[in-house]
Chain A
Amino acid sequence: MDIIVCVKHVPETAEAELKISANGKTIEKTGLVFNINEWDNYAVEEAVRIKEKFGGTVTVITVGTEDSDYTIRRCLAHGADNAIRLTDPRFEGSDGYAIAKILYSIIRNLHYDLILTGSQAGDDGYSMVGPTIAEMLNIPHVVLVKKIELEAGIARVHRELEGGFEEVVEVKLPALLAVQTGINEPRYVSITSIRRAMQKEIKVMSLADTGLSENEVGEAGSWLKIEKLHAPPVEKQIEFLKGNSEEVAAKIIKILRSRGLI
């Protein structure tokens, strides 16, 4: 079973304070911690588990600058065998569609039985790269995958609907599956094993290797152009409770009591 996993190096923003950069089109990246996209981490774990059970190889592939090597090393330490990084200044400004074209241009020349991606990326949240690659490769796909069982030429998968409700779908291989978080419990990847993975080769490729023209990537090759970032509007007028722990606790109790909640 040869598996390709598409991964992305993204900033951890759940608990970080974000600043919009001066040009209004991106966020300030300095001071942010970057790591593997959360959904992709589950995809890598799933790929490694499948390899451990059925044999074969796991190849991770990413579009990103040299900084993405941190994420790639992590994937290699996690159990991936091969790694490809697609890097070119002309990729800058690519939307989900352009990223899919870049990945497709390399994947089409590789051998695979299964392609795994995360269901979305924590930064831009397009959730479109996986299905778009599947269309370009003309293979079936399933998104929001929460369970994968493999049998002769078929993947039997659970797909998340809503309200904790799922559907079971059988899909012919080769196929692309976009995985949802919670599909497994990703193993701990130690710094030592990441250091050990430093020995492994990362194949770096550029626009010339993709066979795509300059106009097919970056902003020119994208459908969506970002004009401006801004802070989300406030929906409710909030009152912040200030003071030390005792004072704040007292204020909360007063609110709860006034509403008959305690």
Chain B
Amino acid sequence: MTEIFVLAEHRQGQILDITYEVLTKGKEIAEKTNAKLAVLILGKDVKEKAKTLPEYVNRVLVVEDFKLENFNSDAWIKILSNIIMEQMPLLTMMGHTSYGMECAPRLAASLGIPIATDCIDLDFEDENLVVMRQMYGGKVNVRAILKKAKSYMVTVRPGVFIARKPKIPFNGEVIEKQSLLTEEVTTKRFVEYVFPPPGEVDITVAEKLVGIGRGIKDQANMPMMEEFAKAIGAVLASTRPVIDKGWLPSDRQVGSSGKTVKPKLYFAVGISGAFQHILGMKNSDLIITINKDPKAPIFNFSDYGIVEDLFKIVPELTKRINELKG
């Protein structure tokens, strides 16, 4: 039986959205290759969590073990490699997330299964697995082909596939698998979760945001951006490099490792548009972008674009808006 495997991700009792995104793509590939679709869920007390999964798949493979209470990639990899070796699915899919990035490459190497990471699309063409990826921070798309094998593995970029419930529920069979973890994994130990401290402003509820990126160049230019944000009544948000430099607190970061925002206005200034950032802001109602590089990927997601030096436009715009306001 040909089968497509999807690894379910869950944390603190919640199945994460990425699981349903990957399942949506998995269903499409299963239909095309005439394969069955299965989801794997590992953990402690996961049977209960797995209740919604049968409607998405033919089979739900549940591995219940108290030793899997918290995520530990060494334990996950041991269990997954046993199941993959035994079942030899055509394809194993997971998110290109903190889970998938930690497990998939190592699992693929240990099993000798060809892997493509961070895919934005994939398809079987004449029995070849063809994937679409990006390079250079999203500036170039790449079509690549995997070496022919019996079984493949991919990680899928979050936010690329829209999660959809199957129109006709699968009512899949729930199968319990033995964990085969004979003893505690001692190489690695989960200690605790750390939550970010609550900030002064919540960028997820602000109506207007001015997103700033690497193009700001220097911390000395921050007051200019503060002034601009104030003039249009917006809150400053940013990309990862600005946070890394400590120019804004970490709760202002927009993107896959930060927050997802959907304001009425997102003014992107000096942001080239790495996909991690795009994922967090592309659904804003109106996106206006200032960037001197006409090929910056962010322009592909913007409503209005200004190809110009931000240091010319921003002060001029601030001045004019302040004049208007009197």
Enumerate chain A interface residues (CB-CB to B < 8 A): 11, 13-18, 20, 27, 96-97, 100, 119, 122-132, 134-136, 140-144, 156, 158-172, 181-182, 185, 222-236, 238-241, 245-246, 248-250, 252-253, 255-256, 259, 261-262
Are A261 and B140 within 8 A (Cβ)? no
Give B318's nearest chain A residue, CB to CB: A249
Are B303 and A236 within 8 A (Cβ)? yes
> Which of B41-49, B84-92, B144-152 lies at the binding interface?
B144-152
A171-B187 in contact given A18-B139, A252-B304 (Cβ < 8 Å): yes
A46–chain B nearest beta-carbon distance, Å: 13
Are B137 and A230 within 8 A (Cβ)? no
Nearest first, the 3 A-B pairs at minimum CB distance are A128-B105, A182-B244, A223-B114
Are A223 and B141 within 8 A (Cβ)? no
User: Could you give 6 example pairs across A and B, Cβ below 8 Å?
Assistant: A13-B137, A141-B73, A158-B194, A232-B297, A236-B303, A238-B305
Are B194 and A165 within 8 A (Cβ)? yes
Are B117 and A165 within 8 A (Cβ)? no
Query: B174-221: which residues lie under 8 A (CB-CB) from chain A?
Result: 186-196, 208, 214-215
The interface residues of chain A lying within 8 Å CB-to-CB of B133 are: 125
A131-B288 in contact given A96-B117, A163-B259, A169-B189 (Cβ < 8 Å): no
How far, in angstroms, from A125 to B114 measured CA to CA in the complex? 17
A18-B188 in contact given A228-B143, A245-B316 (Cβ < 8 Å): no
Are B317 and A253 within 8 A (Cβ)? yes
B238 at interface by CB-CB < 8 Å: no
A226-B144 in contact given A15-B272, A18-B295 (Cβ < 8 Å): yes
How far, in angstroms, from A91 to B285 measured CA to CA in the complex? 47
The interface residues of chain B lying within 8 Å CB-to-CB of A13 are: 136-137, 139
Are A162 and B135 within 8 A (Cβ)? no
Give A170's nearest chain B residue, CB to CB: B189
Which of A135, A163, A182, A253 has most chain B Cβ within 10 Å?
A163
Are A167 and B317 within 8 A (Cβ)? no
A232-B138 in contact given A166-B194, A170-B191 (Cβ < 8 Å): yes
Are B137 and A14 within 8 A (Cβ)? yes
B106 at interface by CB-CB < 8 Å: yes
The interface residues of chain B lying within 8 Å CB-to-CB of A239 are: 303-305
The interface residues of chain A lying within 8 Å CB-to-CB of B58 are: none
A231-B141 in contact given A171-B188, A238-B299 (Cβ < 8 Å): yes
Are B117 and A172 within 8 A (Cβ)? no
How far, in angstroms, from A226 to B116 measured CA to CA in the complex? 11
Binary per-residue interface labels of chain B (12-29) against chain A in the complex, 1 for a CB within 8 Å, 0 otherwise: 000000000000000000
Are B188 and A246 within 8 A (Cβ)? no
B142–chain A nearest beta-carbon distance, Å: 5
The interface residues of chain B lying within 8 Å CB-to-CB of A164 are: 196, 250-251, 253, 257-259
